[in-house]
Amino acid sequence: MTAPKDFNDRMLSLGLARVSEAAAHASARLIGRGDEKAADQAAVNAMRDQLNMLDIKGVVVIGEGERDEAPMLFIGEEVGTGDGPEVDIALDPLEGTTLTAKDMPNALTVIAMAPRGTLLHAPDVYMDKLAVGPGYPKDVVSLDMSPAERVRALARARGCEDGDITVCILERPRHEEMIAEVRKTGAAIRLITDGDVAGVIHCAEAELTGIDMYMGSGGAPEGVLARPR
């Protein structure tokens, strides 16, 4: 069956919403309980059950791990009823297991779907990430720029001082030089302990979150999930 080029299907969209909602509700029962694995497993179980109710021929291209390492929702697993469009699925039933276990903000259940063969099967390696919110010219910032150049370029685009920019960065030893360089520009930094998908999403509503830009390196699967369409 040839996959459609888009998914302007209200019922399928509502079905995906139910998939993520079920995973969120299942893991929410374990917020603050200190058990990362149990919270993750609860989200996986709920998400898989709901996916198998959808009329799709789905293949997980980004999931919990390879077949031999993950009991459910592994890369290459087929989901859905077997009827309907052929699709690729990228998912993270619980992005932020540590955040959930510690009752901290920014844990998410994440899922993306696209026609078969169109989602990047990202290996479990680090990738450089850079995101800004809507309303800016194309390529206003780029990975070829240094962290300081990105701050200055975004400030010019916003018509503000460098010190008015706030950058979200994952707090890791590998980012120490980046953090120091950004701070020399006068920009503020919002450090997060986990959950870089949420960090990227925060840029979409800078007026509410106060975050203008996300930068840093992190897991490639999360980079695909966070990428705006």
* CATH superfamily entry for domain 10-115: Fructose-1,6-Bisphosphatase, subunit A, domain 1 (3.30.540.10)
Total H helices, total E strands in the chain: 8, 8
What mean pLDDT do residues 220-224 have?
A: 84
Q: Which residues pair with 198 in a beta bridge?
A: none
Per DSSP, the three-state class of 79 is strand
To which H or E segment does residue 111 belong?
A: strand 108-115
The whole-chain average pLDDT of the chain stands at 90
- Among 182, 180, 129, CA closest to 153: 182
Q: For the chain, give every residue range classified as CATH 3.30.540.10.
A: 10-115
* Calpha distance 149→3 (Å, rounded): 42
Interval 172-187: pLDDT, tens: 999 999 999 999 999 9
**Cα–Cα distance list, 104 to 25, 32, 108, 194, 209 (Å):** 16, 8, 11, 10, 16
Interval 35-52: pLDDT, tens: 999 999 999 999 999 999
Q: Does domain 126-226 have CATH number 3.40.50.720?
A: no
Interval 74-84: pLDDT, tens: 888 999 999 98
Strands lying side by side in the sheet with 213-219: 126-132, 213-219, 166-170, 188-192
Write the single-letter amino acid at 140.
Answer: V
Share of the chain above pLDDT 70, in %: 92
Lowest mean pLDDT among 94-103, 121-130, 209-218, 220-229: 220-229
Flag whether pLDDT at 1 surpasses 50: no
**Cα–Cα distance list, 101 to 10, 21, 46, 74 (Å):** 34, 18, 18, 23
* Calpha distance 80→154 (Å, rounded): 43
Phi, psi of 74 (to 5 degrees): -80, 160
pLDDT confidence bin for 64, thresholds 50/70/90: confident
Per DSSP, the three-state class of 171 is coil
Flag whether pLDDT at 127 surpasses 80: yes
* Calpha distance 114→3 (Å, rounded): 9
**pLDDT value for 163:** 97
Flag whether pLDDT at 55 surpasses 70: yes
Q: For the chain, give every residue range classified as CATH 3.40.190.90.
A: 126-226
What mean pLDDT do residues 202-207 have?
A: 93
Interval 129-165: pLDDT, tens: 999 999 999 999 999 999 999 999 999 999 999 999 9
* Calpha distance 31→205 (Å, rounded): 25
What mean pLDDT do residues 197-225 have?
A: 92
Q: Which residues pair with 88 in a beta bridge?
A: 59, 114
Report yes or no: 43 and 100 within 8 Å, Cβ to Cβ: no
Flag whether pLDDT at 66 surpasses 70: no
> What number of other Cβ atoms are within 10 A of residue 115's Cβ?
16
Flag whether pLDDT at 6 surpasses 70: no
* Calpha distance 24→123 (Å, rounded): 25
Longest dimension (CA), the chain: 56
**pLDDT value for 222:** 85
Flag whether pLDDT at 171 surpasses 80: yes
Q: What's the pTM?
A: 0.83
